[in-house]
Amino acid sequence: MEETNHAIARWLTEAGWSETYVNLAVKAVIILGILVVAYAAAVLFRRLVVPLLQKISARTKAVWDDHLFSDKVMHRAARLIPPLIWYVLLRVAFYDTPVLLNVLHKACLIYLIVAVLQLVAAFLDTLYEISSRHETLRNRPLKGVYQMIKLLAVCVGAILIVSILIGQDATAVLAGLGASAAIIMLIFRDSILGLVAGVQLSANDMLRPGDWITMAKYGADGYVTEVTLTTVKVQNFDKTITTIPPYALVSDSFQNWRGMWDSGGRRIKRSLLIDASSVHNCTAAELAALREKGLAGTTPDAEPVVNLYALREYAARYLKGHPGIHPDLMQMVRMLQPTPEGIPVEVYCFTRETDWVAYEAVQGAVFDHLFAVLPDFGLRAYQRSSDRDPQSSES
């Protein structure tokens, strides 16, 4: 190091520099040379090494290496080169000032730690992109896990930076933080609970991005758009956004409609309220009229047929033949406990369509038809009104 400095000093003296400024000029020349070397190394890495690695990864069949050697990750990796070169070569310029050299070395190490943290963040973002495109992992709430790893990396980096600044070993800093563990856990309470909840949600496959969930406690009724370390974002059907803490989804109850999508059918469970005063045994003429219209089955004439039973039988046959009703899932038309508002006749079945708009169209068509055929069976739908027929009240 001294020989290098003396050689540069002799060269400057021979060039006509005053001895008063030679020492400063020597350091300036060396520092400039260090900066040029660091810059040139970073440029060579970006212009030569990075394109070479990207060409090699492009020729492979795997897709993950294309993400791993992307410009974002490689540029973050290139930032590691300057502080490493500075740390090694600064001794040449400041060998005679150990205090300043120590300060500059600490600055280089801090810069290097920050660059490593940026590289780790870019690497984790790339892993998230890869997992988002993977068929098995794309529906897993892994974003919170990656965020927790980032947080742990930042904590480790902060401990290392503090240990460098105070000149103590990192274990001593950790020992000091152990005394304030309660405060640290209080500060990172949501993050810690979010990490545990995220692991449980992922391990038990309780929640995926894109799921339709309902959680009345938080006013959530819509699709999960994002699962992070501290929040689960739900876009409601009115286009508002509801945020829920991940641990609330584990500790409280919520409804996930994914099973409905996976089954390929969406349930209809709705009742017709029949006016009890309109229920009666069908006469022979009424049965004949129902058979002529195709509304009655093959019930023997000797047995009294109640018009409400005939309606339920027809509704069951109608559901079996309806193109919008799923034939492989449960179908049932049943009478429930009579109420003061009438006799509920419940239609229980599943549509082929799970999309909301298509589902409502099928359900509406089914009940439009059932309401329309009620008069053919001599039945009336109950409604809370003083007069069932305004014309009859006028007469």
Is pLDDT of 363 > 60?
yes
pLDDT of residue 392: 47
Q: Tens digit of pLDDT for each residue in 17-54?
A: 555 555 666 677 778 888 888 889 988 988 888 888 88
pLDDT of residue 13: 56
At 292, is the pLDDT very low, low, confident or very high (cuts 50, 70, 90)? confident
Find all residues with CB under 8 Å of 93, minimum gap 6, and list them. 27, 30, 31, 34
Q: Tens digit of pLDDT for each residue in 177-212?
A: 665 666 766 777 777 777 777 777 776 778 888 889
Tokens standing for 384? 């809370």
What's the whole-number mean pLDDT along residues 340-344? 92
Most confident of 10-14, 200-204, 242-246, 382-386: 242-246
Q: Provide the residue ranges of all domains of the chain, joining segments of one domain with +.
A: 1-166, 200-258, 263-375
Exposed/middle/buried for 207, CB within 10 Å: 0-12, 13-18, 19+? buried
pLDDT of residue 23: 60
What's the whole-number mean pLDDT along residues 293-308? 76
pLDDT of residue 25: 64
Which residues share a beta bridge with 339? Answer: 342
What's the whole-number mean pLDDT along residues 74-89? 88
Q: Tens digit of pLDDT for each residue in 314-330?
A: 999 999 999 999 999 99
Element (H, E) at 129: helix 98-133
Pick from 222, 228, 233: nearest CA to 255? 222
Q: Tens digit of pLDDT for each residue in 203-243?
A: 677 888 888 999 988 889 999 988 877 788 999 999 999 99
pLDDT of residue 393: 45
pLDDT of residue 325: 94
pLDDT of residue 381: 92
**Which amino acid makes up residue 304?**
P
Q: Tens digit of pLDDT for each residue in 82-124?
A: 888 888 888 877 777 788 888 888 899 999 999 999 998 888 8
Lowest mean pLDDT among 79-88, 111-120, 329-338, 380-389: 380-389
At 395, is the pLDDT very low, low, confident or very high (cuts 50, 70, 90)? very low
Element (H, E) at 348: strand 343-351
Pick from 140, 144, 122: nearest CA to 132? 140
Q: Tens digit of pLDDT for each residue in 269-278?
A: 999 999 999 9
pTM of the predicted model, to two decimals? 0.56
Q: What is the largest CA-CA distance in the chain?
A: 132
CA 368 to chain centre: 39
pLDDT of residue 16: 54
Return the percentage of the chain with pLDDT > 70, whole number. 81
| Average predicted confidence (pLDDT) for the chain | 81
Q: Which residue has the higher pLDDT, 392 or 109?
A: 109
Q: Which residue has the higher pLDDT, 28 or 290?
A: 290
CB 258 within 8 A of CB 208: yes
**Residue 30 per-residue DSSP state:** H
Q: What distances in angstroms separate CA 158 from CA 111, 118, 184, 211, one per listed residue?
A: 12, 13, 14, 37
pLDDT of residue 365: 94
Which residues share a beta bridge with 347? Answer: 270, 333
Is pLDDT of 8 > 60?
no
Return the percentage of the chain with pLDDT > 90, whole number. 28
Look at the domain 200-258 and name its fold.
SH3 type barrels. (2.30.30)
